[in-house]
Structure 1
Amino acid sequence: MSASRFSSDVYARRLSAAAAATADAGLAGLVITPGYDLRYLIGSAAQTFERLSALVVPASGAPMVVVPRMELAALKESAVVDLGLAVRDWVDGENPYELVADALGGHARVAVTDSMPALHLLPLAQRLGAVPVLATDVLRSLRMVKDPAEIDALRKAGAAIDRVHARVPEFLVPGRTEADVAADIAKAIVAEGHSAVAFIIVGSGPHGADPHHECSDRVLQEGDIVVVDIGGPCDPGYNSDCTRTYSLGEPSAEIAEQYAVLQRAQATAVEAVRPGVTAEQVDAAARDVLAEAGLADYFVHRTGHGIGLSVHEEPYIVAGNDLPLDEGMTFSVEPGVYFPGRWGARIEDIVIVTANGVESVNHRPHDLIVVPV
């Protein structure tokens, strides 16, 4: 599977940093099967099959790719080919886990990507004589802090999803189903510059009180509050994720008042973002505003999640996470209020931690958007 990629210099720096972090962690190496970590390190969007494909990154020495011969051409097409990676291909009947162990010099203290399938993890552990640890701790700091190319990609994705939200009111017509609206949004996501659709939530009326409702055959009605949470990847694979809430006709005074509190909570949390502030402090900034208005019990999820090659990744903006924010971190700020059986609302932007504060990649109005009916 081919994919757009950054320059080879970007991936070379990432491989070098990963090897250094591996050594600092006291590990012999990393074993990375297809997934977001592989795409981050060598640009490859290869898929996982029953035959092992893996990037082996020793703490010292040259990285190597172990790949089935029948998948070699596909891997070369999907990865950056001028990184000078050694390649060891294998055929059915050979033991690829022996090849991985050899590339690691026989050392057993190894970390594996958290997406490695059990069908590869278990035989690798048996060959090494020890259960590997997760590479999350090694790669976390690398993937959390985005470089300028990644930040530009996220800005592009944010602008693309803003263009989709600008079109959403034309799709929200009473008498249409949530699924009808979602189908139109899916077409708009691709038309406005995304390479694919990652997810679409159209939660109308009582469905808006379910934060992870997708879409259904419920018919939109005048007076509905509608949560629209949408996103997808833009080349070279960095994602958008943005939520706005719409009202089909003028909302009641009570809904307008409660939404105004949510809007203030989201703005307060965004304003709290800057280097040195902890993730849990940003979460508290949103939660405290809602609590003061008696709405704390209706905010039932974390305030945000990191975003990049994956829609959900670290850092997580949640109580108990005392991680200090650093320049280049990117994540959502998305408080919501959910009234079971009645309605819900959420406001979400993707933000970037800058040297002195915060930058949002989303610029659509945060008001409750009234759609005339």
Structure 2
Amino acid sequence: MASMFERRLTNCRRRLERSATDLLVCFPSPNLTYLTGFEESPSERHLLLFVPRIGTPALVAPKMYEQQLATLPIDEPPLEVRTWDDDEDPLELIRTVLETFETREGLEFGETSTETITEIDGDDRANNDNRTPGDASILVDDRMWATLSQDLRACAPDATFGLASDVLESQRIQKDDVELEALRRAGAIADRVSLEIRSRGEELIGTTESDLASEIEALLEAKGAGKPAFSTIVAAGANGAQPHHHSSDHEIERGEPIVLDFGAFVDAELEGGTGRYPGDQTRTIVPGEPTEEYKRVHEIVQKAQQAAVEAVEPGVTASAVDETARSVIEHAGYGDAFTHRTGHGVGLEVHEPPYIVGGNDRELEPGMVHSIEPGIYLDGKFGVRIEDLVVVTETGAERLNDSPRGWETGDVSR
């Protein structure tokens, strides 16, 4: 049976065919990890995956990675690993690799033709609309450093260039069962940490934001997660009015609302290779008794979040879900205090499509995973945000978080 990464590469090549694209080039990024299971940090060295519409996929890499790349679970389609030494010019190897591929018109990269471009259908049309007849079409990783993009342009001067997301976004946006299982585990770990922090009640008083953030990250690791998915947010009192506040030495006071936004990566159970998926949950809690204004605002945000979750189903647009949450908050008179989108997709990256925001007419489909996180932020007073991850199902939405969403602390029930 083909490995997950073999299936993903085959699917990618089919999408290149449908979009009349000749070649996709990935840089060390989530796209490279998604297609091969190989994870590495970007550097100035040329480490590039070439996925051609016609020809054998190739991975050009520094020789120091040779042993690691030999273990990748990819046999069909075959993946040719081509390495270079530090005293060699990697561009010479890249030109050699490009010469092994054929373009849609049967030419080598760098040549031109006057033949008419094949009509492109559906979402994969993307940036190919700007092509001229005979140009070879190359899509490069959206994260690729400019210096490497320029090197590719030098190696294929007559090609037209677009972004890999034109093809890979629609492939990555629907999660498979292995990805969903990892995201569920990440959500469950975040739930357990959320319950533990909430249960401490008034013991939280006097703790600094930074100390509590560090404690949350330690708990995530102790319960089976890896590194934090993003910088943990602990924002107490007026600091909570900043949606992305950086935790400080502010000491939590009695009756102060605390925005807690955190999550960590977990490893997917793959046949080989690497794939890490994050949790992302926000709760706003209070040690002690909050003001009546806070109670009212928290109730509004909780209603907005619930309404948005209930609005999620296949065929509904991302903008419609955003509007559902926003209308609840606007009707309550706090529209100007909801200052960000309702949600974002989650996968190998913490923020990826689909973005749940006004103007995004993308229809939701089963297997998409995204956050629902409305908020109200009152400058100089407090902020409230409640966030869960949801997966779009055949009939609606499944929450990947199930910890209490109220503000009460101490011994609370679900």
Match of 1:152 among 153, 157, 181: 181
DSSP 3-state at the match of 2:3: helix
Contact 1:246–1:371 (8 Å) recurs in 2: no
The alignment status of 1:336 with 2:375, answered yes or no, reads yes
Comparing 105-114 and 139-148, the one that deviates more: 105-114
Match of 1:80 among 73, 83, 90: 73
The alignment status of 1:287 with 2:326, answered yes or no, reads yes
The alignment status of 1:213 with 2:207, answered yes or no, reads no
Residue 307 of structure 1 corresponds to: 346
The alignment status of 1:119 with 2:147, answered yes or no, reads yes
Q: Distance between the aligned counterparts of 1:317 and 1:103, measured in 2?
A: 42
Match of 1:184 among 215, 231, 244: 215
> Unaligned 5+ residue runs, structure 2?
103-107, 110-135, 269-275
Quick one: structure 1 residues 232 and 102, their matched pair in 2 at CA, closer, same or farther if it must change by over 3 Å?
farther
Residue 231 of structure 1 corresponds to: 263
Residue 38 of structure 1 corresponds to: 32
Q: Distance between the aligned counterparts of 1:213 and 1:80, measured in 2?
A: 41
The alignment status of 1:202 with 2:234, answered yes or no, reads yes
Q: Deviations over 1:14-50 (max 9, x none)?
A: 1011111112222111001111001111111122222
Quick one: structure 1 residues 35 and 103, their matched pair in 2 at CA, closer, same or farther if it must change by over 3 Å?
farther
The alignment status of 1:128 with 2:156, answered yes or no, reads yes
Contact 2:27–2:143 (8 Å) recurs in 1: yes
Report the structure number with the largest CA radius of gyration.
Answer: 2
> Unaligned 5+ residue runs, structure 1?
1-6
Runs of 4+ in structure 1 displaced over 6 angstroms? none
Quick one: structure 1 residues 248 and 8, their matched pair in 2 at CA, closer, same or farther if it must change by over 3 Å?
farther
Comparing 310-319 and 198-207, the one that deviates more: 198-207
Q: Deviations over 1:329-354 (max 9, x none)?
A: 00000001101111001000000000
Comparing 21-30 and 352-361, the one that deviates more: 21-30
Comparing 7-16 and 303-312, the one that deviates more: 7-16
Quick one: structure 1 residues 99 and 213, their matched pair in 2 at CA, closer, same or farther if it must change by over 3 Å?
farther
Tell me the amino acid that sits aligned with residue 102 of structure 1: E
Q: Distance between the aligned counterparts of 1:144 and 1:352, measured in 2?
A: 11
Q: Distance between the aligned counterparts of 2:410 and 2:211, measured in 1?
A: 17
Tell me the amino acid that sits aligned with residue 150 of structure 2: L
Q: What is the deviation of 1:81?
A: 5.2
Comparing 48-57 and 204-213, the one that deviates more: 48-57
Residue 14 of structure 2 corresponds to: 20
Q: What is the deviation of 1:276?
A: 0.3
Q: Distance between the aligned counterparts of 1:102 and 1:336, measured in 2?
A: 53
Q: Distance between the aligned counterparts of 1:202 and 1:327, measured in 2?
A: 33
Match of 1:347 among 378, 381, 386: 386
Residue 3 of structure 1 corresponds to: none
Match of 2:337 among 284, 298, 305: 298
The alignment status of 1:109 with 2:106, answered yes or no, reads no
Q: What is the deviation of 1:60?
A: 2.2
Q: What is the deviation of 1:75?
A: 3.4
Comparing 318-327 and 107-116, the one that deviates more: 107-116
Comparing 307-316 and 186-195, the one that deviates more: 186-195
Quick one: structure 1 residues 103 and 264, their matched pair in 2 at CA, closer, same or farther if it must change by over 3 Å?
farther
Contact 1:58–1:103 (8 Å) recurs in 2: no
Tell me the amino acid that sits aligned with residue 330 of structure 2: A
DSSP 3-state at the match of 2:354: strand
Contact 1:283–1:318 (8 Å) recurs in 2: yes
DSSP 3-state at the match of 1:350: strand
DSSP 3-state at the match of 2:286: strand
Contact 1:62–1:85 (8 Å) recurs in 2: yes
Q: TM-score, normalised by structure 2?
A: 0.85
Match of 1:57 among 47, 51, 57: 51
Q: TM-score, normalised by structure 1?
A: 0.94
Tell me the amino acid that sits aligned with residue 294 of structure 2: I
Q: How many residues align?
A: 365
Q: What is the deviation of 1:8?
A: 5.6
Q: Tell me the C-alpha RMSD between the 2 structures.
A: 1.7
